[in-house]
Structure 1
Amino acid sequence: MADLDSLRVRFAAALTGARGDGDGPDPLTYSDPLTYPDPLPYADDLLARWREPQRRYHTATHLTAVLDHVDGPLAGHAADLDVVRLAVWFHDAVYRPEREENEERSARLAERALAEAGLAPGKVAEVARLVRLTVSHAPGDDDPDGQVLCDADLAILAAPPSAYAAYTAAIREEYAFVPPDDFRAGRTVVLVQLLSLPALFHTPYGREHWERTARYNMAAELEMLSPG
């Protein structure tokens, strides 16, 4: 279970840090009401989204895991860590499994909410760009923040076998409205496309610690999906 109070603190710290007003002793309570809106209502709105009933994998637990990767082994690779953290919060903020434009709608939500929350226009645009990048998970060689976000988002692919199995089961639950044969075909396409990439991960840490395991997990899943 995700610790919602801890997540609220983490969002407040990221927003105040990105805005430049994060010098107070406690990011949960500190803000300059004459200059910036309180970050907590924005955190609560996002957490409500991450806890919607249609979600099985794309939940607050996934949000926490991606934030932990960004704040942990990948932190030193980022150019603007607070902007990456905000992109994590928004990257699946809009999630309807039956729709295909979730990333775009999430990016537009980030543009509206963060502008209202007092983030500088250039940083708002960067958060939205990073969110849109999760459509392809293909950051450029000169995009360290994109590399960090994409690697953190795909780190589940390199999970231990039991965690990977739980991930695939949760994804199937999110797509319970799709008939089994259609889901199998669609999932196969996704796995084949990922396995055809020259590299799944783009940070040095991801390539060293996650690449081989992720490919093993996906190849095993692909074999299980194959008929006969």
Structure 2
Amino acid sequence: MENEPLIDEALKSELAALYSTEDRHYHDLSHIEAMLALADEYRGLLDDPQAVEAAIWFHDAIYDSRAKDNEAKSAELAEKRLAGRVDPGHLARIAAMINATATHQLPPLRDEDALSDAALLLDMDLAILGADPAVFDAYEQAIRLEYGWVEEPMWRAGRSAVLKSFLARPHIFYTAEFQNRFEPKARQNIERSLAALESGTG
């Protein structure tokens, strides 16, 4: 069990199919690949790279923009698919990381190494906020497409509230590495997006 990858090729294919449905414009395979690339880049900081990789693969596996329980269902899917591949303690850790992506608040993990991995996972998930402006704008447009069923006034109000909640934090990112690399640009991108939403041009 130790030497086998948690996410083998069969499981990757199964999950890739979930990420490839036509209603996904941002929460697709490209998002997973971007996070996996960051996990590889920061591998030296990870206590349990396999658990983080598994959490990345599963965290948006269930995604319905009309639903409120996507992360919980994604965590349940991970628990079902990974049962027997990893011990219960590690499985609980993976599920906690997936569930944390619902609010982007650190999960209640007592283990400091597990908490550190969760912080890095959440930062990787939000790294897009600190992307170059053109990439960030494409991300915003993709999110809007995923919420195409929401009428424009409701969309502007809801999206503005989400973005303001990030700006209100002392730090958008938890780790020093991501704060240094992405925080200034993320705040600029969010402020620009808010201005567009509030003026009716975004």
TM-score (norm 1): 0.81
Whether the 8 Å CA contact 1:94–1:103 is kept in 2: the answer is yes
Aligned equivalents of 2:33, 2:181: Cα separation in 1: 20
In the alignment, which residue of structure 2 is the partner of 1:20? 2
Q: Hey, what does 2:137 align to over in structure 1?
A: 165
Aligned residues: 195
Matched, 1:104 2:72: yes
Structure 2 Cα separation of the partners of residues 135 and 199 of structure 1: 18
Secondary structure, in 3 states, of the residue corresponding to 1:226?
A: helix
2:163 maps to amino acid = L
Q: 1: CA distance between counterparts of 2:31 and 2:147? A: 17
Tell me what 1:129 maps to.
96
Partner of 2:87: 120
Distance in 2 between residues matched to 1:223 and 1:191, nearest whole Å: 11
Between the two proteins, what is the percent identity of the paired residues? Answer: 36
Deviation digits for residues 47-86 of structure 1 (CA, Å, limit 9, x no counterpart):
11111111000010011001111111x3222111110011
The match for 2:166 among 185, 189, 194 is 194
Aligned partner of 1:211 among 179, 183, 197? 183
Kindly state the Cα deviation for residue 170 of structure 1 after the two structures are TM-superposed: 0.3
CA distance in structure 2 between the partners assigned to 1:97 and 1:135 by the alignment: 12
Partners in 2 of 1:84 and 1:21 — Cα distance? 16
TM superposition score normalised by structure 2: 0.91
Query: Which structure has the larger Rg over C-alpha atoms?
Result: 1
Partner of 1:10: none
| Uncovered stretches (5+) of structure 2, i.e. residues with no partner | none
Q: Which runs of 5+ in 1 are unaligned?
A: 1-18, 28-35
Amino acid at match of 1:86: A
Distance in 2 of aligned mates of 1:78 and 1:41 = 25
Q: 1:67-125 deviations in whole A, cap 9, x for unaligned?
A: 111111x3222111110011000000000111111000000000000005x22211111
Output the CA distance in 2 between the equivalents of 1:218 and 1:130: 25
Question: What code does the residue aligned with 1:112 have?
Answer: K
1:45 aligns with 2:18: no
Deviations 1:19-56 (A, max 9, x none): 4124xxxx7xxxxxxxx9x9332221111111111100
User: 1:194 is matched by which residue type in structure 2?
Assistant: F
Q: Choose which of 15, 30, 33 in structure 2 pairs with 1:61.
A: 30
1:90 lines up with 2:58 in the alignment: yes
Equivalent AA in structure 2 for residue 69 of structure 1: L
Distance 1:39 1:220 in 2: 41
Q: What is the CA distance between 1:215 and its match in structure 2? A: 0.6
Query: Is 1:224 equivalent to 2:190 in the alignment?
Result: no
